[in-house]
Structure 1
């Protein structure tokens, strides 16, 4: 059976959402948002804040193994920080060579490094040498910066540098997240390297997962925004739920949203709670039309207690729009 991994999603899948999404079941592992490495060794408290799974055996509350992802461009600093991260006993150290964000790329990090296969090799080799042999060092890449001309060179450089496996997001940096993902390129990379390759990109449904595996030739798949849009996607792929979402599932989704909001209260500043819930709803609208009504009902609300009241009213079978009118 294919292994399924929850992707790192900077600015979206923080610890709390990782907790909620993995609690539904079906995932074999997850990767943290990237921890950015510049010109210093980060203290342990940074990992305890951003990847608090390290305080609990490097597993989410639901028991899913967690890998710490690092992002940076200097081999020396990456190696020193990887050694410190490894001391916290994560289930692996992953290196980010796929982030397309301008704020990261203008400093030479993330997907910009795909223009320099030799530097990729140096970074992975330095990290691999610094991390105990029992902790896997892996890498996540895209197909290139603006084109795919160096895709094979980059994948080969990562594998030869010591990466135990590669996740390939089947787009270039310039593609961003625009469809389609070019799964056929994952097959080419898989044929060129001697390490396992995990396919990533545009898996929104169980049918997409099956097509991705068929085209890429890869058994293992990493799911990102598809899992945010449908938190039961891993279970659908596993055959534990109907492969097609239905309106009957909305009550369960509301329970997840309410739980997410309650957990946010202990993890983030109150001024950010409402924004996180609204962002998640913007993805859920892709799967359930009811999410659009709920999003509209809470759009102008900023107090998490008011938002939770609307959600609980909807969980009881009431209209989210009417719930908003009942608020003081």
Structure 2
């Protein structure tokens, strides 16, 4: 079994990738998508979204980072993929799953699943543009408005020469509402010869096992579940994991890493965003969220995290 940390735009940024992969359990992770729209991007853009390129395309703990691109022009996406490889990307992943309205309105992400021929052309162009040794993969949902063309898209991905396909088990319209349809991923897996990775609604080790059984996939991609429980990958692998006492030092480490990376408000906002996810699994995270939610300065927040938490009266 392999486990992959998902690309999560606006959530799994460089700094959170460092922390989650250092906790461990991942075979590789995927960067936030880099939007490609009509131009060959300068290196600084690639470095902004995937700073790991400057360190051998690995996180600080040594986990490989695959670079994700999003776009609808085969020629332009291919040119940028070639540049990404020149800058050190070990693999290119192509986004056909983003449900964001602003992305979809500009013909990007999940709306492309209405055009399997274009999906094929984008992947094929990238495959031709990068060396044969560089994997080219795709990540898609089951469809845009419906899943009627799921197999058409899977066949398009395979015919274009992709190395593997990751399938999020919902359509764009279904968003992130439970459930994820892992059985539909199994239908995709059965329809194509290339490896398929299952993604969607994996919050616990039990979810992971059910996903493996229902989808038939040995490789899983975990996203929001890994943010809510930093030890999720370790639990899935049945490795030593911990509770809040083990999570809290990673939270304080993250807060420290963020200092100096943006404005005080931006830095504190990132900490609160992660705490917001952590409180799904940990009651202590809810208490810390309430204690920190009004702070707008990450330095004050880091100092507060170093102090004991005042417990509410029973």
The two structures have a TM-score, normalised by structure 2, of 0.97
1:81, 1:270 → 2: CA distance? Answer: 33
SS of alignment partner, residue 267 of structure 1: coil
- 1:161: which partner in 2? 160
After superposing on structure 2, the runs of 4+ consecutive aligned residues of structure 1 that deviate more than 4 Å are none
- 1:146: which partner in 2? 145
Deviation sequence 1:71-99 (CA, Å, 0-9, x none): 00000100110110011222200000000
SS of alignment partner, residue 142 of structure 1: strand
1:296, 1:313 → 2: CA distance? Answer: 15
1:17, 1:268 → 2: CA distance? Answer: 14
Contact 1:294 1:321 in 2 (8 A): no
- 2:310: which partner in 1? 319
Whether 1:235 and 2:234 are equivalent positions in the alignment is: yes
Cα distance change on mapping 1:223 and 1:9 into 2, 3 Å = same
Within the candidate set 278, 287, 292, 2:286 is matched to 292
* Structure 1 residue 271, shift from structure 2 partner: 2.4
Contact 1:297 1:320 in 2 (8 A): no
Contact 2:155 2:191 in 1 (8 A): yes
SS of alignment partner, residue 168 of structure 1: strand
Whether 1:256 and 2:255 are equivalent positions in the alignment is: no
1:305, 1:268 → 2: CA distance? Answer: 12
Larger CA deviation: 160-169 vs 252-261? 252-261
* Structure 1 residue 264, shift from structure 2 partner: 1.0
Query: What is the correspondence of 1:267-282 to structure 2 with a 5 Å cutoff?
Result: 267-282=261-276
- 2:213: which partner in 1? 214
1:164, 1:69 → 2: CA distance? Answer: 14
Contact 2:2 2:27 in 1 (8 A): yes
Contact 1:254 1:311 in 2 (8 A): no
2:27, 2:286 → 1: CA distance? Answer: 31
SS of alignment partner, residue 126 of structure 2: helix
Contact 1:310 1:320 in 2 (8 A): no
* Structure 1 residue 270, shift from structure 2 partner: 2.5
* Structure 1 residue 311, shift from structure 2 partner: 1.2
Question: What is the alpha-carbon root mean square deviation over aligned residues?
Answer: 1.3
Unaligned runs of 5+ in 1: 323-328
1:256, 1:173 → 2: CA distance? Answer: 33
Deviation sequence 1:261-306 (CA, Å, 0-9, x none): 1111243332201111111111101110111110011111111122
Deviation sequence 1:47-79 (CA, Å, 0-9, x none): 112101111110000110000000000001001
- 2:4: which partner in 1? 5
* Structure 1 residue 307, shift from structure 2 partner: 1.0
1:268, 1:27 → 2: CA distance? Answer: 28
* Structure 1 residue 205, shift from structure 2 partner: 0.3
2:182, 2:35 → 1: CA distance? Answer: 28
- 2:38: which partner in 1? 39
The two structures have a TM-score, normalised by structure 1, of 0.93
1:151, 1:99 → 2: CA distance? Answer: 15
